[in-house]
Chain A
Amino acid sequence: MIINSTEYLKKNTEAAPLAVFRIFFGIMMLISIIRFWSYGWIDKLYIQPKFFFSYYGFEWVKPLGIYTYVIFILCGVSTIFITLGYQYRIAIITFFLSFTYIELLDKTTYLNHYYFISLLSFILIFLPANAYYSLDAKIKGVSYQSIPSWTIDALKLLLGIVYFYAGLAKLNSDWLIKAMPLKIWLPSKYDVPLLGELMQQEWMHYLFSYSGMIYDLTIPLLLLYRKTRPFAFILVVVFHVLTRVLFPIGMFPYIMIVSTLVFFDSGFHHKVLRNISKIFKINKAQFDTDKVLEIIPQKNKILFTTLILFFVIQFLFPFRYLLYPGELFWTEEGYRFSWRVMLMEKAGYANFKIVDGETKKRFYVDNDDFLTVFQQKQMATQPDFILEYAQYLKKHFENQGHQNVQVFVESYVALNGRLSTPYIDPQIDLGKQKESFKHKKWIIPFNDEIKGL
């Protein structure tokens, strides 16, 4: 298949799409941060909670109290620099680090789209997004109108992976045969104008399930081909606007709509830049230099190795769940970081019992004493959360002077409308268990079967 990779790497294209992408990315991120802040979520999610759920291996990432705001300021300011293309490399690195740091603070707030932003900003570090139509180019007096094609293709590839894998994840019996979880979610949207009544209809649940799946699987290709592109873009807008109307997914739909513009020809992007130039009185001509930016593979081994490694990981990582026994939706071992977006409805309840191993004296924990409602909700359905919280409880009660502390949990989880069943083995002292990437044997196996990927 690889006809000539060196030839491909030498291929050039207009830099305008990447410049437009950089500008829009910066603006969208700035809006996201301002929105996040204005809703009071920094305080609510990162300052108020007493306890934070860490990612395995990233326990050292902790909120900095009131200084957490500083990270957000840093992140926000970097988006402005990115938009302007000023000190771009430093700005995008700052953005990547600060944004990722924020996401690592508490896995309660994990969202696929935050992960997507982290990945996107990571590869943007390696792309010459400031080569054209940027303050950097203006100040240096060197603007490159052409850049290697692969730089833009890398973005398309990442977007393609997100969609395609999200589509693959939908190839399961709950989604396709039972129309779950849409059969639960859609009827509750009875108040959506015009569509509300339809949301009660079973055929609509199937229509949405199947069209969602087909959309995710095919949209990367439809966007890639010039002939289908305008139609594909209409689909993108309809799809994301619908998801925005139906689900509380914040900025994600807009970010995706704007991101897919990168698939368009450079003619479109030049038009966008001309309009921006008109509004802000920028002399666009100064950037149109016919200069070609060359990135020679032999001289940039680290860059190419990093990117290739990055994509290999992206291709393989979502399949790591195959290494675990049991139903993925139930155990969630290998669930995150795999583009399983809006894929299942899971609710749980976890009641922790502290037992003195000697005297057998016991009492239950009031989760409200330690966790926010949001944290409790996330904790109750995910074994790694349950374990981390149990360990925390053990330490907490030991510090309070309790002896021989054992931690047990009575927990129930309901998945995609099935009746709730016990989730974690209530006989297991979670205080003795260790977190690892190995299968957690104390998860009670799922008592049903979900076929498919």
Chain B
Amino acid sequence: MMVRKSVFSVIALVFFMLGCSSDNNTNDEGANGGKDSFDRKALLTNIADNIAIPAYQKFSEDITALKASTSNFVTTANASNLVALRQSWITAYTSWQSVGMFQIGKAEELSLRNFMNVYPVTVSDIESNVTSGSYDLTSVTKQDEQGFGALDYLLNGLSDTDAGIVEFYTTNPNASGYKKYISDLVNRMDDLTKQVLADWKNGYRDTFVNNNGSSATSSLDKIVNDFIFHYEKHFRAAKIGIPAGVFSGTPLDTKVEAFYKKDVSKALFNTSLTALQDFFNGKHFASTTTGESLKTYLDFLNTIKNGENLSLLINNQFEASKKKAASLDNDLSNQVRSNNTLMLETYEELQKNVVLLKVDMLQAISVSVDYVDADGD
């Protein structure tokens, strides 16, 4: 039959063309200035082995330390143990800033970020949990009653003084309820973290690295989307935009991260900003070495396109944001109350990188902005 014959010859032709082309490629090194293609797998490997896994490793260790401090405090509730526990909480909260963006694999499945760091928390619900002693922390409705935000309240918000806070765990009629609740929260955080880290170490790392295709479900597409989503929602909006009243018209000083501790919100913001920029530049966790990254990928693509130096523009914008944020008060809540203009200006700087990342970078690397798998033209 005509069709069958045609189809056959077409397939033959395609293979013939492909055959010729591959030959040409190997013989014709100089065609594109001898440039090799970019190794996406190396990028994914760098993200997994040198950024995500070490960051989760460190975070997991800090959560373990937090668990130990909690246990100490629950056993012997006094001011010095409270101070120690609070320090462990700050340390773990700081490391969290480096893993928050990696909501992929097990973390995505468990909805890790939503159980770890929703703020502001709902105090009345926390109190009623403490009183009743019965709660299901795995429930989605309980996300604003646990995690770092809930610990913030339990360690910093119960009273104005340390002595006052310690009383909740000692002389308070429901001291055992508070002890149980804080232990349950930390245990859950520890459990979730261990699951995620174990998954990365036992198989997911290879799944992640080997899913190096270009489809909407490939690792690169997903991690880039996660990165931008995190930047936009959980960094720009949550840490600065919402408290500054960008989305409400009125400043909301109670909506800052670590509201009850007060003086760490800027530090957490800075750590997060650095982590995001380091991810962009492929900088190894806790090291100055850099590897394949979105930056090197953009630079490679620009050798083909000869357009603007996008990676430089993005890095410049990260620096501009840092510079602007440098004058912020250590307590962002206080900053909102005293001079919200600086908050809004910081937001403007952060916003400029949303455009560069979400519009220019995504266009350059041809990653679609979402997982919508609708047809194109």
Contact = CB atoms under 8 A, between A and B. Distances in A.
Contact of A188 (B2, B366, B372): B366
A404 interface: no
Nearest to A237: B10
B355 A349 contact: yes
A186 to B, nearest CB: 9
Contacts of B354: 349
B6 A41 contact: no
Interface string A408-451: 00001110011110000000000000000000000000000000
Given A195-B21, A362-B249, A417 B372 contact: no
B6 to A, nearest CB: 6
Interface string B348-368: 000100111011101111111
B116 to A, nearest CB: 21
Query: Which of A45, A200, A377, A412 neighbours the largest number of chain B CB atoms within 10 Å of its CB?
Result: A200
A290 to B, nearest CB: 24
Interface residues of A, number: 71
Nearest to A109: B374
Interface string B41-74: 0000000000000000000000000000000000
Contact of A414 (B304, B359, B375, B376): B359
A218 B372 CA distance: 34
A364 B369 contact: no
B363 A414 contact: yes
Interface in A109-158: 109, 111-113
Interface in A178-229: 183-185, 187-191, 194-203, 205
Given A184-B363, A187-B304, A361 B249 contact: yes
B207 interface: no
B10 A45 contact: no
Interface residues of B, number: 62
A366 interface: yes
A322 interface: no
Contacts of A234: 6, 9-10, 13
B245 A349 contact: no
B37 A190 contact: yes
Contact of A202 (B22, B304, B375): B304
B179 to A, nearest CB: 39
A194 B19 CA distance: 9
Given A188-B366, A241-B14, A203 B372 contact: no
B359 A39 contact: no
A377 B371 CA distance: 12
Nearest to A361: B249
B40 A190 contact: yes
A230 interface: yes
Given A45-B374, A341-B377, 9 more contacts: A187-B37, A198-B25, A205-B304, A234-B9, A238-B13, A275-B1, A347-B369, A365-B247, A377-B372
10 contacts: A112-B377, A184-B305, A188-B365, A200-B35, A200-B37, A249-B376, A261-B3, A271-B1, A345-B366, A373-B372
